Amino acid sequence: MKSVLLTSLPRYDLVAPPAAIGILQGVAKAQGLNTEVFDFNVYLREHLSEAEWQDLDNWLIFLQQDISDDLKNKIISLWEKGITGKMPANCEYLLISVFSYWSLYIARLIIQHEAKKISPYKLIVGGNGVSSKFPDTGKYFKEWNDETKAIEHLILGEGENPLSSLWSQGKVNYNDNDLDTFPFPTYSNFDFTGYTEKKVYITGSRGCVRKCTFCDIQNIWPKFRFRSAENIVKEIKQHYYEHGITRFDFTDSLINGSTSNFYKFNSLLAEEKAKNNDLKEIGYLGQAICRPKNQMPPSHYEAMYYAGCRQLTIGIESFSESVRNHMKKKFSDEDIEYHLEQCGHWQIPNVFLMITCYPTETLADHEKNITDLKKYQKYSKAGIIEFMRWGTTMHIAPDTPIASKEMIKSLGLTTTTGQDIFYEPGTSYTWKSTANKQLDLKERIRRRLELHKVTTELGYLQPDAKNELMTIFKMSEFVK
Amino acid sequence: MNIQLEHKNEKFSCEVFNNERSLFKLAESHKHSFKVDDLPAHLKIYINPYKIQPIIRVDNIMVNYGLAKITPWDHMLEFKLDNNFFDQYFSNIIEAKRLYLDLDKNDIKKKIGLDKLSELMDKIEKNIS
């Protein structure tokens, strides 16, 4: 029987098995392949020191130009040891998942190493990261592979169809426009004890219904597509009966992209739980968008409660409406209040994702952030705003609407020395705006520190604050 | 403070006592709302039929029985209310997270971000000053 070893790389969270590997393992098994998995992200975290891990992280997010040769050699040596231990018999394919453009450098390091080897397997590489450019060379991943010919099968875009076609010799094809035709992800071979939570990621939709200026999701999935409510509930039940999983984390950009389908999903899951006592502990969490009352009436929140919605991650981004309007978030202050009121009514905790120092942010916008932190403190005390994440201040990501020539021109985005915003990898953090001169790097860091102080004083929980401030510290070195 | 009791499937009646004094009786319904002005309050809510555990909301926020220290007896619900109810509730959230993560009192502050990170903040401030 043919075999495949499916691997994933940093940068990814350490919380649960990576969704991409679960999805592609499902496809491989559906084509009759023997599979094994290797999470190199978790393996590296276990085998690198704290300082080495931080160095690697700074390199991957482009805040550091390079890492030492010693660390690169250690990473390669760990990779070799790790895959040797996991390699299944008759391994015909080694698959590497490149989750995002923050995985680009380590992917290149590993793939260059693999290309030097004489191996019995063919290399398959895919994931969102392979659609990106290397910030240091300005070359797209595909261009780099065309030159080096390091990868036998480079998968651009979704993996299900190209891989099912490869593994079935063209006999099996899924309907890309009907996500219900894809096989269910499989999490066999994963050791759940290696992760901080026993949960699985689940994908109910791909794409987004918004076109936020800072986000590149529309490049990856231009069209919003979603699975039927029945199909998602069926998958949840399958993971429960196979692995005893009761916690499901949606990978969707937003779980309420289709409010009618989301309502149906909640109603169906609640019905299943009411009928079958086995399922009563099942709960889910996911990212969602804040919506006005006419789109998500109180009955929708009630259905979420009975279905077991344990947490929503909401991209509020800024408490200033004018900042959000520029971002094209399309919800008002009134909508935030309504959302919190309903979440309070049904005890649904929220993680608020914020972006500080967006290029149009004025001092008044910043002060609005502080005012609303005070206003919503009661929701923090009640656990309804469970966590607050202020992030590392606005980072201009390539291939996003805000990085378009028109926006860069209208916002006057340049480096501190007046060069192109992507002149050097780190300059996407250290930008300045000639249209909002007050908001230089020093001021951005000052505002971020002020927000940390106020947020801490008000007692909001910020579990990622230390990591975020470590990155801010790195950024502050550019001010000196 | 405003209190609301709700049970989706069963109607129930209740008699509300504050500090051993009967305040009022509420006839059978899926939902009951009332106000408690006399704080601190030690509430006992006798419920009929027995073994009903309604959703409880304090000032329109649904509370968790464990975190709100609500004791569900077969025949009544018993809990305390004061002006600092949600301060106490928040402390109980932190304590629950501490126990879940098996951390000591200092480590939990670091883990969930209640730490002021003063040393790191000072270093950053120094760099931008």
Most A CBs within 10 A among B70, B122, B125, B128, hence the mutation to make, goes to: B128
Least Cα distance to B31 among B51, B9, B59 occurs for B9
Structure confidence by residue, pLDDT tens digits, A1-10: 899 999 999 9
Structure tokens at A6: 């499916």
CB pairs under 8 A between A and B: 86
Residue A479's pLDDT is 87
Please report which helix (H) or strand (E) contains residue A365, including its range: helix A363-375
- Give percent of chain A above pLDDT 90: 89
**Whole-number mean pLDDT of chain A?**
95
* Nearest chain B residue (CA) to A385: B90
The answer to whether residue B25 neighbours chain A at the CB level (below 8 Å) is: no
Beta strands A247-250; A200-202: pairing state: parallel
- Of the two residues A261 and A173, the one the predictor is more confident about is A261
Structure confidence by residue, pLDDT tens digits, A363-389: 999 999 999 999 999 999 999 999 999
pLDDT bracket for residue A190 (50, 70, 90): very high
Residue A426, pLDDT above cutoff 90: no
Residue A430's pLDDT is 86
Q: Which of residues 66-125 of B touch A (CB under 8 A)?
A: 67, 86-87, 89-90, 93, 110-117, 120-121, 123-125
- Give the other-Cβ count within 10 Å of A64's Cβ: 16
The set of residues, in sequence order, having a beta carbon less than 8 Å from that of A46 and lying 6+ positions away, is none
Structure tokens at A71: 């660390």
- Give the other-Cβ count within 10 Å of A414's Cβ: 17
Structure tokens at A261: 């389908």
Q: Are A273 and A306 in contact (CB under 8 A)?
A: yes
The answer to whether residue B63 neighbours chain A at the CB level (below 8 Å) is: yes
Residue A1's pLDDT is 83
Structure confidence by residue, pLDDT tens digits, A92-141: 999 999 999 899 999 999 999 999 999 999 999 999 999 999 989 999 99
Alpha helices in A276-313 (DSSP H): 298-307
Give the mean model confidence (pLDDT) for residues A160-181. 94
Chain B CB contacts of A345 under 8 Å are 57, 60-62
Residue A155's pLDDT is 96
Give the mean model confidence (pLDDT) for residues A177-204. 94
- Give the other-Cβ count within 10 Å of B27's Cβ: 9
Chain B CB contacts of A459 under 8 Å are 90, 114
d(CA A470, CA B120): 8
* Nearest chain A residue (CA) to B90: A381
Structure tokens at A203: 């994908």
Give the mean model confidence (pLDDT) for residues A3-21. 94
Residue A284's pLDDT is 98
Beta strands A283-288; A247-250: pairing state: parallel
Angle, CA of A12, A18 and A22, to the nearest 5°: 160
**Whole-number mean pLDDT of chain B?**
94
The answer to whether residue A469 neighbours chain B at the CB level (below 8 Å) is: yes
Chain B CB contacts of A480 under 8 Å are 127
Structure tokens at A461: 């929980």
Residue A22, pLDDT above cutoff 80: yes
The set of residues, in sequence order, having a beta carbon less than 8 Å from that of A413 and lying 6+ positions away, is A359, A396, A402, A407, A421, A431, A432, A433
pLDDT bracket for residue A220 (50, 70, 90): confident
* Nearest chain B residue (CA) to A197: B101
Beta strands A350-354; A385-389: pairing state: parallel
Chain B CB contacts of A352 under 8 Å are none
Residue A298's pLDDT is 97
Taking CA atoms, A18 is separated from A21, A30, A251, A266, B121, in Å, by 6, 19, 10, 24, 33
Q: Are A352 and A377 in contact (CB under 8 A)?
A: no
- Of the two residues A313 and B114, the one the predictor is more confident about is A313
* Nearest chain B residue (CA) to A452: B116
* Nearest chain A residue (CA) to B55: A346
- Give percent of chain A above pLDDT 70: 100
Residue A422, pLDDT above cutoff 80: no
Least Cα distance to A474 among A376, A392, A402, A414 occurs for A392
Nearest CB to B112 within list A344, A345, A461: A461
The set of residues, in sequence order, having a beta carbon less than 8 Å from that of A190 and lying 6+ positions away, is A17, A22, A37, A39
Residue A351's pLDDT is 98
Chain A CB contacts of B63 under 8 Å are 347, 382
User: What is the sign, positive or negative, of the torsion defined by CA atoms of A361, A366, A367, A373?
Assistant: positive
The alpha-carbon gap from A473 to the nearest alpha carbon of chain B, in Å, equals 5
Chain B CB contacts of A445 under 8 Å are 124, 128
Count how many Cα atoms sit within 13 Å of the Cα of residue B121 in the half-sphere of its side chain. 15
Q: Are A346 and A304 in contact (CB under 8 A)?
A: yes
Residue A416, pLDDT above cutoff 90: no
Structure confidence by residue, pLDDT tens digits, A427-458: 888 899 999 999 999 999 999 999 999 999 99
d(CA A103, CA A462): 25
Q: Are A421 and A434 in contact (CB under 8 A)?
A: no
Tell me if B128 and A306 make a contact (CB, 8 A cut-off).
Answer: no
Please report which helix (H) or strand (E) contains residue A284, including its range: strand A283-288
* pTM value > 0.95: no
Give the mean model confidence (pLDDT) for residues A329-334. 96
Structure confidence by residue, pLDDT tens digits, B82-113: 999 999 999 999 999 999 888 888 888 888 98
Residue A146, pLDDT above cutoff 90: yes
Q: Are A269 and A233 in contact (CB under 8 A)?
A: yes
DSSP secondary structure of A147-183: HH---SEEE-S-SHHHHHHHHTTT-----TT-GGGSP
pLDDT bracket for residue A196 (50, 70, 90): confident
Residue A71, pLDDT above cutoff 80: yes
**ipTM strictly over 0.90?**
yes
The alpha-carbon gap from A390 to the nearest alpha carbon of chain B, in Å, equals 12
Residue A349's pLDDT is 98
Residue A425, pLDDT above cutoff 80: no
Give the mean model confidence (pLDDT) for residues A173-182. 93
Residue B115's pLDDT is 85
Structure tokens at A19: 């969704």
Least Cα distance to A261 among A232, A292, A240 occurs for A232
- Give the other-Cβ count within 10 Å of B84's Cβ: 13
* Nearest chain A residue (CA) to B9: A274
Nearest CB to B124 within list A378, A387, A476: A476
